[in-house]
């Protein structure tokens, strides 16, 4: 990864905004800019980037050795014993009065602590816009993570049998995700069967799918700090006519939307292509979420693939296409693939079949 290029790009944006520098607290953004290891939700590091491209990464004793072995794109600043990273930040930025900050990440309490000393201005999504278009190195890591998904679901299905609970299904899949080389889960595995399948984010339960039940399985691996995302709906026993027809409708909607994906077309237009199929098949009112989202260091990133996004897709966007149909009291169906937008088209990173699978 060319982390130095990313820091220089951020510095150029900071300069263009008339700022002296930026303070970065978000662990995902720090990882993106420096490659520093991070724990999801952890805020123990602070990155300071100056408008001239100088960068200092402030860390505690706890992280100093690992960060020092990993990061070469910024000066590593270790806090003294009992010194807080924020105190060290004050010393470093004393000659930089106008600073950008990450709105939505910097809390009101933290902003209040430092606002009296510096003039803080929002970065207005500058880093998030940089992250939206993946470079070749990032795409390679996402593709590797997705290949782990493909192999893990194939092996897990071979071990599934009637009578297993949703929790056991999740455990079987997660075992193979680890065996295939994932570093961590991109998110908590979703397994929801039968009438529970109407919960798009349904966590696994002790429920045991019965004959003919649809089982929605949504999961992702993380590799090299980057996520993959995938959903398949499988069946324990042959499904009846209604749920089979719903599965074929969702599959058709997904395939139609994938055909639409290319640079220059908006997320709204791709969403509409899938929605038209489900409307025509009488399931439109049961499609209760947007068609997809961006994937990268975080499982949900820009761009949105849904009715709210009229911005054209661009080469380097990595997006999900995941239509669904959720019939209350009956079943849920969702099928999800991961695509990268390229010049003049797209490439599907998901290899595992979309054909109906019966256990």
Partners of 339 in the β-ladder: 319, 348
- Residue 144, phi then psi, degrees to nearest 5: -65, -45
pLDDT at 112: 65
CATH for 136-348 (3.90.230.10, 3.30.365.10, 3.40.50.300, 3.40.1360.10): 3.90.230.10
Query: How far from the centroid of its chain's Cα atoms is residue 119's Cα?
Result: 32
Looking at the predicted structure, is the pLDDT value of residue 30 above 80? yes
Rounded to an integer, what distance in angstroms lies between the CA atom of residue 343 and that of residue 350?
19
Q: If you average pLDDT over residues 110-128, what whole number do you get?
A: 78
Per-residue pLDDT tens over the stretch 212-243: 899 999 999 999 999 999 999 999 989 989 99
pLDDT at 201: 94
Confidence of residue 92 (pLDDT cuts 50, 70, 90): confident
pLDDT at 154: 97
- What is the chain's mean pLDDT, rounded? 92
SS3 of residue 115 by DSSP? helix
Looking at the predicted structure, is the pLDDT value of residue 350 above 80? yes
Q: Residues 6 or more apart from 268 whose CB is under 8 A from it?
A: 306, 307, 308, 309, 310
Residues 287/252, Cβ–Cβ less than 8 Å: no
DSSP H/E element including 120: strand 119-122
Rounded to an integer, what distance in angstroms lies between the CA atom of residue 302 and that of residue 322?
15
Confidence of residue 167 (pLDDT cuts 50, 70, 90): very high
Looking at the predicted structure, is the pLDDT value of residue 80 above 70? yes
- Report which of 107, 126, 108, 110 is spatially closest to residue 22, judged by C-alpha positions: 126
pLDDT at 114: 65
- What is the DSSP track for 263-295? TTSBHHHHHHHHHHHHHHTT-GGG--S-SEEE-
* Domain range summary for the chain, segments of one domain joined by +: 3-131, 136-348
The rounded percent of the chain whose pLDDT value lies above 70 is 94
- Report which of 33, 31, 26 is spatially closest to residue 8, judged by C-alpha positions: 33
Residues 37/184, Cβ–Cβ less than 8 Å: no
Looking at the predicted structure, is the pLDDT value of residue 135 above 70? yes
pLDDT at 88: 83
Q: Do domains 3-131 and 136-348 have the same CATH topology?
A: no
- Report which of 228, 241, 275 is spatially closest to residue 256, judged by C-alpha positions: 275
pLDDT at 108: 62
pLDDT at 176: 97
Confidence of residue 43 (pLDDT cuts 50, 70, 90): low
SS3 of residue 95 by DSSP? coil
Rounded to an integer, what distance in angstroms lies between the CA atom of residue 234 and that of residue 222?
23
Per-residue pLDDT tens over the stretch 264-301: 999 999 999 999 999 999 999 999 999 999 999 999 99
Confidence of residue 113 (pLDDT cuts 50, 70, 90): low
Q: How does 299-326 read in b/e, with b if 16+ C-beta sit within 10 Å?
A: bebbbbbbeebeeebebbbbbbbbbbbb
Cα within 13 Å of Cα(343), Cβ side: 0
| The two structure tokens encoding residue 313 | 């897709």
Looking at the predicted structure, is the pLDDT value of residue 42 above 60? no
Question: CA dist 158 to 155, 166, 173, 239, Å?
Answer: 5, 16, 10, 19
Looking at the predicted structure, is the pLDDT value of residue 331 above 80? yes
Query: How far from the centroid of its chain's Cα atoms is residue 320's Cα?
Result: 9
Rounded to an integer, what distance in angstroms lies between the CA atom of residue 218 and that of residue 229?
7
Confidence of residue 61 (pLDDT cuts 50, 70, 90): confident
Among 74-83, 104-113, 180-189, top mean pLDDT goes to 180-189
| The two structure tokens encoding residue 289 | 């979420």
pLDDT at 115: 60
Confidence of residue 143 (pLDDT cuts 50, 70, 90): very high
CATH class of the domain comprising 3-131: alpha beta
pTM of the complete model: 0.92
Rounded to an integer, what distance in angstroms lies between the CA atom of residue 332 and that of residue 335?
10
Rounded to an integer, what distance in angstroms lies between the CA atom of residue 173 and that of residue 216?
13
Looking at the predicted structure, is the pLDDT value of residue 318 above 70? yes
Query: How far from the centroid of its chain's Cα atoms is residue 98's Cα?
Result: 32
Place of tokens 């014993």: 81
pLDDT at 109: 62
Confidence of residue 41 (pLDDT cuts 50, 70, 90): low
């Amino acid at each position: 990864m060319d982390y130095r290029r990313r820091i220089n790009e951020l510095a150029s944006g900071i300069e263009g905004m008339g700022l002296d520098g930026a303070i970065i607290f978000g662990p995902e953004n720090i990882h993106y800019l420096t490659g520093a290891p991070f724990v999801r939700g952890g805020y123990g590091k602070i990155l300071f980037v100056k408008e001239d491209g100088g960068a200092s990464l402030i860390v505690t004793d706890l992280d100093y050795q690992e960060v020092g072995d990993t990061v070469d794109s910024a000066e590593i600043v270790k806090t003294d014993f009992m010194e807080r990273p924020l105190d060290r930040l004050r010393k470093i930025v004393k000659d930089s009065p106008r600073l950008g900050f990450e709105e939505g990440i910097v809390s009101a309490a933290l902003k209040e602590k430092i606002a009296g000393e510096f003039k803080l201005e929002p970065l207005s999504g500058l880093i998030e816009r940089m992250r939206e278009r993946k470079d070749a190195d990032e795409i390679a890591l996402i593709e590797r993570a997705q290949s782990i998904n493909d192999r893990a679901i194939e092996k897990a299905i071979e071990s599934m049998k009637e009578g297993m609970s949703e929790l056991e299904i999740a455990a079987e899949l997660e075992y193979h995700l680890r065996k295939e080389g994932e570093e961590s889960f991109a998110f908590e595995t979703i397994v929801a069967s039968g009438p529970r399948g109407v919960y798009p984010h349904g966590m696994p339960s002790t429920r045991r799918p019965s004959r003919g039940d649809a089982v929605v399985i949504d999961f992702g691996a993380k590799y090299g700090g980057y996520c993959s995302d995938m959903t398949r709906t499988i069946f324990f026993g042959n499904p009846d006519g209604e749920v089979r027809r719903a599965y074929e409708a969702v599959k058709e909607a997904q395939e139609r939307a994938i055909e639409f994906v290319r640079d220059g077309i908006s997320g709204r237009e791709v969403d509409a292509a899938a929605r038209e199929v489900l409307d025509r098949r009488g399931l439109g009112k049961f499609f209760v979420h947007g068609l997809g989202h961006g994937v990268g260091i975080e499982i949900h990133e820009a761009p949105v693939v849904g009715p709210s996004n009229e911005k054209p897709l661009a080469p380097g966007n990595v997006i999900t296409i995941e239509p669904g149909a959720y019939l209350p009291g009956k079943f849920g169906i969702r099928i999800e693939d991961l695509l990268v937008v390229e010049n003049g088209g797209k490439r599907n990173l998901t290899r595992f079949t979309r054909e109906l699978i019966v256990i």
